[in-house]
Amino acid sequence: MASHYVVRNVSRAEPETIAALRDAGVAAVHEAAGRIGLLGPAIQARQEGAAIGGSAITVSCHPGDNLMIHAAVEMCRAGDVLVVTTTSPSTDGMFGDLLATSLMARGVVGLVTDAGVRDIATLRAMGFPVWSRAVHAQGTVKASPGSVNVPVVAAGQIVHPGDVIVADDDGVLALPIARGPAVVAAARRRLDSEAAKREKLASGTLGVDLYKLRPLLAELGVEYVDDLP
C-alpha cells in the first residue's frame, strides 16, 4: 500500500462562516474558541495588514523539496489557504512568486508554511499574503514524495484538511469546521463586549476598576503606599 497520498475530497466550511471568522480576527476567534487552534509564534506574517480566512489544503513535504506543493495546487479551489509543512525542520525557501502566481489563478487567498519563502518583495507587490517560519533565498528541489490533504503539524498545532484557517498580523489559527458557527457567535459577543469596554476606558475608567481588580490586589497582598518605608 502507498504511504504517500494526494487526497482529492476535502470538506469545507460555509463561506459565510469563514468570512465572519476572518473579520473577527485571530485574537478574538482564539479566545471565543476557548483558546484552541493557535499556531506557534515562529510562523510570522510577512506583510502588514493582511487578514485572510479560508479552508486548509494541507501539504506534507520532504525538507528542501517542494514537489508536493506543485501537486497540491491542483487540489485548491477559490477561497482556500495552502498550509505547507515539512517532515523535519526546514527554513529553505520552498515557495516563491511563481507558485503564488499559480495559486492566485485558482483563487487561493494565502499561504501558511512551517518552512521558508522567498521572492518576498514580489509576493508583497502581487498582494499574495504569506505566513512563514523564515524568509530565505535557499532553493529547493522537486524529487521526494509527500502527501496532500492529510493531517499535518504546523508550529506545534495539528491542522486537518478543510479546517478554517484565520490569519492576520496576530498570527495563524486553525479551527475545526464543526466549531465554526458556535465560535462565530461567541466571537461576536466578545467583540461587542470589547467595544463597550473600549468606550469606558476611553472615558477615563481604569482597568483595575472596570475589571474589579482591587479586591484581588488586596487578597494577593499588594499594598498602596505614598512612599516606600
- pLDDT > 70: percent of the chain: 99
C-alpha cell at 33: 474558541
**Could you read off the pLDDT of 164-196 as tens digits, one per residue?**
999 999 999 999 999 999 999 999 999 999 999
Tally Cβ neighbours within 10 Å of residue 139. 12
Alpha-carbon distance of 13 to 179, in angstroms, equals 10
Q: What is the CA radius of gyration of the chain?
A: 21
With a CB cutoff of 8 Å and minimum separation 6, the contacts of 35 are: none
Alpha-carbon distance of 17 to 33, in angstroms, equals 14
Alpha-carbon distance of 146 to 144, in angstroms, equals 7
**Could you read off the pLDDT of 109-151 as tens digits, one per residue?**
999 999 999 999 999 999 999 999 999 999 999 999 999 999 9
pLDDT band (50, 70, 90) for residue 1: low
Classified as helix, coil or strand, 172 is strand
Q: Is the confidence at residue 229, as pLDDT, over 90?
A: no
Which one, of 56, 162, 38, lies nearest residue 112 by Cα? 56
Specify the pTM: 0.95
Alpha-carbon distance of 104 to 89, in angstroms, equals 27
- Give the per-residue pLDDT at 83: 98
**Could you read off the pLDDT of 24-55 as tens digits, one per residue?**
999 999 999 999 999 999 999 999 999 999 99
- The DSSP code for 104 is H
